Amino acid sequence: MTQPFGQRVLVLNGPNLGRLGSREPDVYGSTSYADLVERCTKLGRELGFEVEVKETNSEQQMVEWLHWAADEKTPVVLNPGAFTHYSYAMRDAAAQRSAPLIEVHISNPYAREEFRHTSVIAAIASGTIAGFGIGSYELALRALAEQLTQR
């Protein structure tokens, strides 16, 4: 098995995730977005990844990032935020993936309001990790490392 040393990985975050730490801390915890970025990049380095963490409130921007990732064969950790439940444009962009894509959620959508129980992304993702707080991202990065070393 080969190590994914130097492999670029995108960690993409949808709407409102830039407000981590102040947004509903009872649901999303007290970790700030800056802390999330630091934790992802640090673990990424340990796993041999070059992690780039991005956040947008724009569906168009997210679609463009997913197109870029598909064109560049770049693995993605994706927290679609509210786009999870209705963005078919994002789903179609993510379906073009040419490398693993792992959907993540900080909270467990199935333990929340009923409208959050549907993900249009899950069916085209390599897998979904949810409900482990910020640790969901760390689990996703570890899963990516495992998938990439098995190739």
**Binding site per annotation, positions for substrate:** 79, 85, 92, 106-107, 116
Please say if 105 is a catalytic residue.
yes
Residues in the chain: 151
Q: Which residues are annotated as a binding site?
A: 79, 85, 92, 106-107, 116
Backbone angles phi, psi at 125, to 5 degrees: -80, 155
* Residue 28 known to be catalytic: yes
Catalytic residue of the set 67, 86, 88, 105: 105
Please list, in sequence order, all residues whose beta carbon lies within 8 angstroms of the beta carbon of residue 63, skipping any fewer than 6 positions away.
89, 90, 93
- Residue positions annotated with a catalytic role: 28, 105
